A and B are shown apart, each in its own frame.
Chain A
């Protein structure tokens, strides 16, 4: 674990200051300070999901350039083998995903190939619902898998915000929880305290007034609210103190990940970040016609944004705590459709990035001839990837979230 993190804690909100007043401080305050201090026995790993809205064409992202069927099926969309960033003699990255290639070589990126769902659905809404709920068997399920994950770690006396959606679109179903509140933000400012005009005291008075002991106080809810106020104030200050000068490219997703990086650095206890590329609705990765240019721009944005994020985290010695995972509602048809585009498909690759990956390609590339309705067949149930992330990365209990145990993949060094 990085020492930066502990140093940071000491220098910002002053956990140590608080603890040094321990004999005089009321109980709830000491508990709050202890809760805020990093604990060795508890995991502090972070998951960053990136939703690629619209159905990403996996075949033109992790390109099976070495398979003749690829070129045969895609007379106008096939990427020239000479331009592909080659991973091996079969697969390589899209020419504009040079940054992913760099991460891949450094061991910071993995590709899980052939991921999909049984009961696959070729409609955007239906397929996205499956990825969000993590439950292909119940199309009307109302909670998201990460919402259930957040609910599963909630404790009655703690004030952490365990999951956050960062992005300009409506909150996706994936983080919809039955119980906890998952905030949707566009910038870190929304999690900082906004003072009244002319207020010189601001949060310090807010915090001070909350932590003063109350005479004859026997209400457990007031005690809870006092602690939460103190915690909220501390978190808001940590976020404010965690700005850095890292350079990110001028993309929407890069801005989102810059925000995520600041929140990770602030160490306020968020374990799950959900982000999005493509705009949520129609458009985005849904390229039924003239796919080449638009898809190229999106993949470039994805690759550059994630790379800037990974570089930032590495510099801050936080990379070992972070795992990025992309997903899309489906891949696309192997053959192009006569309009220089592709149609809704099935299996697709999932990209993982972070400091604790075993790296490399995971699973075989699905066959380009043994198809299901013109699309690749999956060999890895997407819930095995979810289970890996929940059990092995976050340290949660995946059966609580996914209703049963799926076999995790051996892809992490943890």
Chain B
């Protein structure tokens, strides 16, 4: 990365579309970076195609693929409809992430899953959880306004928050508080009084036997004062008022910045101001995501490898790279062990992530998951084969396969000293001394994906 010509604190430069040039060329590392953030990693062909296509066409395809995403998703919705448990839903979702023609949509669905974090164990309804994630997917790259409206009427969310019986006589804060403090403006932008008044606007809404119901006589139709506004507001009015607050747009932009660009540093208000202003106009998620992904800042050293992969990104990066399909029932279980139990975020605030993903136990857990995925037997069977994939792409000698794997998983962005050490160790140590070359290559691949570098997104 050519840090000297970057101007990451200048919004004009930062959000202008990236155009490759001699100093900031489009290369394998940039393509890998894009596929880590806008998808769940890439196979060799995807990386090569991206190199040939250049950033614009690659991004066009990631933002709106030619393939029939709708048909794919409808088919998967049908599979999910037969799921008898939330555990099965978890497995179907991972399968969707791996096979979808529109990975960015799933990536953003995962983002919203952590934003409107709803725990399936508390909801106790497979169908409700299926509907919930379907709602997230439907607006994943759509309108945050539509999404928030949907969330305020979503039985799963209301049940999870204990906001399924909003009586006139007993207005509870269980939805109004997270709506204002977690889903939109963030803490400190409304008073306790604002939350109490907003709670009154939500009276009348109930979830009865899994169905949303409005009971007019339980609604408090009197005047409320919310965030400086006064009127006989309803729940829809509250959603509208909250969306009018500049803090809402800023908070969402910051959160998406952390998800797509960089989690090590909070952006200056000046840097994100143009995005905040633009997002507040119509809450178009796709435009915001597109601006971020196409930007100079995204392809700068301020963003490159400035995130730690969540467990899903870690595992799917391996699966996508090796062009395979593994048991996602098993994978969902193992990812839960690493701290990311899909459909069961820890709290309504979602997964904090970042450095919190990592501790000595989860690090060993990632090492062991990598072993299980690559060893060619056991719970994941022989679905992923580093030597097989290398051969498919025309590599056969040990050194050429090794070089290929480092290109595939790290886009060659590895200190040469570390590379040489891995290579030397792999060639000299062959366990019992009678090892086959395929075993050697599997171990080399394992050594690559357990490097500190591979945990960076």
A interface residues, Cβ below 8 angstroms from B: 139-140, 142-143, 147, 154, 156, 159-162, 164, 176-181, 183-184, 190-201, 205-206, 208-210, 212-215, 217, 219-222, 224-226, 228-229, 231-232, 235-236, 268-269
Contacts and interface: CB of A to CB of B under 8 A. Distances in A.
Contacts of A178: 346-347, 349, 352
Contacts of A225: 308, 358, 452-453, 455-456
B375 interface: yes
A140 B264 contact: no
Q: Which of B364, B425, B439 has the most CB of A within 10 A?
A: B364
Contacts of B374: 196
Nearest to B431: A198
Given A178-B352, A209-B421, A219 B451 contact: no
A343 to B, nearest CB: 25
B368 A156 contact: no
Nearest to A156: B355
A109 to B, nearest CB: 31
Interface string B427-457: 0011110010001001100110011110110
Most chain B beta-carbon neighbours within 10 Å: one of A177, A199, A269: A199
A228 B360 contact: yes
A161 B374 CA distance: 26
A213 B368 CA distance: 24
B361 A183 contact: yes
B360 A231 contact: yes
A215 B415 contact: yes
A191 B442 CA distance: 22
Interface of B: 119, 161-162, 174, 264, 305-308, 337-339, 346-349, 352, 355-365, 367-368, 371-372, 374-377, 415, 417-418, 421-422, 425, 429-432, 435, 439, 442-443, 446-447, 450-453, 455-456
A130 B76 CA distance: 40
Contacts, number: 160
Contact of B305 (A156, A180, A221): A221
Contacts of A192: 364
A138 to B, nearest CB: 10
B305 A235 contact: no
A140 B160 CA distance: 9
B76 to A, nearest CB: 27
A46 to B, nearest CB: 16
Contacts of B451: 209-210
A236 B450 CA distance: 15
A224 B355 contact: yes
A236 B364 contact: yes
A156 B430 CA distance: 38
A226 B452 contact: yes
B410 to A, nearest CB: 12
Given A198-B443, A199-B443, A181 B357 contact: yes
A203 B422 CA distance: 13
B303 to A, nearest CB: 11
Contacts of A195: 371
B347 A176 contact: yes
Nearest to B305: A219
A47 B337 CA distance: 22
Given A183-B362, A198-B430, A222-B456, A209 B447 contact: yes
Contact of A154 (B161, B356, B429): B356
Contacts of A156: 355
Contact of A212 (B174, B306, B347, B417): B417
A176 B122 CA distance: 14
B264 A214 contact: no
Contacts of B349: 178
30 contacts: A140-B174, A142-B119, A161-B361, A177-B346, A178-B346, A179-B352, A181-B338, A181-B356, A181-B359, A184-B337, A191-B360, A193-B367, A194-B368, A197-B376, A197-B439, A198-B435, A199-B446, A205-B425, A206-B450, A209-B422, A214-B417, A215-B417, A217-B415, A219-B306, A221-B305, A222-B456, A225-B358, A226-B452, A229-B452, A232-B361
Contacts of A196: 371, 374-375, 439, 442-443, 446
Contacts of B421: 208-209, 212
Given A142-B347, A194-B372, A205-B447, A232 B364 contact: yes
Contact of B456 (A142, A191, A221): A221
B418 A191 contact: no
Contact of B339 (A139, A181, A208): A181
A200 B367 contact: no
A195 B376 CA distance: 13
Contact of A139 (B162, B430, B442): B162
B415 A214 contact: yes
Nearest to A211: B452
Contacts of A232: 360-361, 363-364, 367
B456 A219 contact: yes
B395 to A, nearest CB: 20
Contacts of A139: 162
Which of A142, A156, A208, A235 counts the most chain B CB atoms within 10 A? A142
A133 to B, nearest CB: 11
Contacts of A205: 422, 425, 447
Contacts of A219: 305-306, 456
B358 A159 contact: yes
B357 A201 contact: no
Residue of B162, B174, B264, B346 most packed against chain A (CB within 10 A): B346
A29 to B, nearest CB: 12
Contacts of B430: 198, 200
Contacts of A179: 352, 356
A159 B425 contact: no
A191 B375 contact: no
Contacts of B376: 197
Given A193-B367, A194-B368, A205-B447, A142 B452 contact: no
Given A178-B352, A194-B371, A232-B361, 17 more contacts: A143-B346, A147-B346, A159-B360, A179-B356, A180-B356, A191-B361, A198-B439, A199-B431, A199-B443, A200-B431, A221-B308, A222-B452, A225-B456, A228-B358, A228-B452, A229-B452, A235-B364
A193 B456 contact: no
Contacts of B363: 159, 228-229, 231-232
Contacts of A160: 359-360
Contact of A164 (B361, B418, B443): B361
A140 B162 contact: yes
A324 B339 CA distance: 26
A208 B418 CA distance: 9
A210 B453 CA distance: 9
